[in-house]
Amino acid sequence: MNKKLQGFLVPILAVFIALLLGAGIIAYLGENPLTAYYYLFTGAFDGRRAIARTLLEATPMIFTGLSVLVAFKTGLFNIGAQGQVIMGGLAAAAVGAFVHNIGINNVFVVLIIAAAAGFAWSGIAGWLKAKLGVHEVISTIMLNYVALNFEQYGLNYPLKAGGPMGPSPQTPPVFESSRLAMLMPDTKVALNVGFIVAVIAVILIWFMFEKTITGYEIKAVGLNPTASENAGINVKWRILFAMGIAGSLSGLAGAERILGGVGQYTYRQGIMGSYGFDGIAVALLGKNSPVGALFAAILFAALRTGGRSMQFNTSIPSQIIIIIQAIIILLIAAENMFHSILDKKKKVSN
């Protein structure tokens, strides 16, 4: 079987095997896997509300998936998406809820500021890598924890609604002018224009890698930095640029959570979930293609929203979804296992 077809098969097989293992666990717990998966599916896709919920959940994952993907293409592992999401979200909340200037708290400007905050945050890791050769995995993990503490600081002190003595650690809601418009207001689900922006980002990133010289050079750096250097590409500059773009995409993910009304337009504890880490799963399952990431994000989001309906209707805890997601990543990490099995089959059929 040729490599390209195998590359396409691996993610599908991984999802299939993970769902099969999940079914095994469900059966072991004495429930009918078909019934459980029926609720999983209908919870995610049956009706306008369900679809709106799934796409709402998918939106930040599309951004972070692209973020991890852009870094991957450059040969970098962006584990720091979570921190970049937080910094983007904090920037959006700070400007959107505290700056009274109509020209600045305009939603477009706020999105750009959030993207810039993400750019600056990941730029630290990019700079450390390009300038000093510091491994980005370690630096971005450290930056994640700095960002997490910074988030707690922001929500408890300078950005807290009602000042430091306010009732709970969250920001006030952002001004009307900073909000992203709802897409399906009749469903009462906060699906917003952020989803459209995410889809546009998919197209732009695709365009960058397929049609522009910059994208081509970034890919070249990812494949072989030494050869790229020799060919006259400024490798350090490309690393810094790609890492920055990665951060700005994650920053947009954070901004969408705040400006899109997920938590009544406030930044509150836990609102950023684990979207940065989900981005890693999304980029891997999407086989590093922007369109693949779009579908992978929708799949993981569907598992999430469907998982809640499954927990509601059966005795299966929704955390099984996280287990299934982890198995999918493990299987993709062990990609060589599939290749050796698929190649063996080929030898037999010859």
Partner 1 sequence: MSIFISLILATIRQAAPILITAIGGMFSELTGVVNIGLEGMMLMGAFSAAVVSYYTGNPYIGILGGMLAGGIMALLHAILSIKYKGNQVVSGVAINLFASGFTVFMLRVLFNQSGNTPTVPKTQTFLGISIIVFIIYIIAIASHWFIYKTVWGLRMRAVGEHPLAADTVGINVLKVRYFGVIMSGLLAGLGGAYLSIGALSQFTKEMSAGRGFIALAALVFGKWTPGGVLGASLLFGFADAGQTLIQQYVTGVPPQFIQMLPYILTLLALAGVVGKAVAPASSGKPYDKSDD
Q: Are 63 and 256 in contact, with CB atoms under 8 Å apart?
A: yes
195 is an interface residue for partner 1 by CB under 8 A: no
List the interface residues with partner 1, window 67-96 (CB under 8 A): 77, 79
302 is an interface residue for partner 1 by CB under 8 A: no
Nearer to partner 1, 218 or 280 (CB): 280
List the interface residues with partner 1, window 95-124 (CB under 8 A): 124
141 is an interface residue for partner 1 by CB under 8 A: yes
Shortest separation between residue 184's beta carbon and partner 1, angstroms: 30
325 is an interface residue for partner 1 by CB under 8 A: yes
13 is an interface residue for partner 1 by CB under 8 A: no
Pick one of 47, 326, 344, 346: the residue that binds partner 1 (CB under 8 A). Answer: 326
Binding segment (CB under 8 A) for partner 1, from list 35-43, 102-110, 210-218, 331-339? 331-339
142 is an interface residue for partner 1 by CB under 8 A: yes
Shortest separation between residue 52's beta carbon and partner 1, angstroms: 25
Contacts with partner 1 by CB under 8 A lie at: 29, 77, 79, 124, 128, 132, 134-135, 137-139, 141-146, 148-150, 152-153, 156-157, 277, 280-281, 284, 317, 319-323, 325-327, 329-330, 332-337
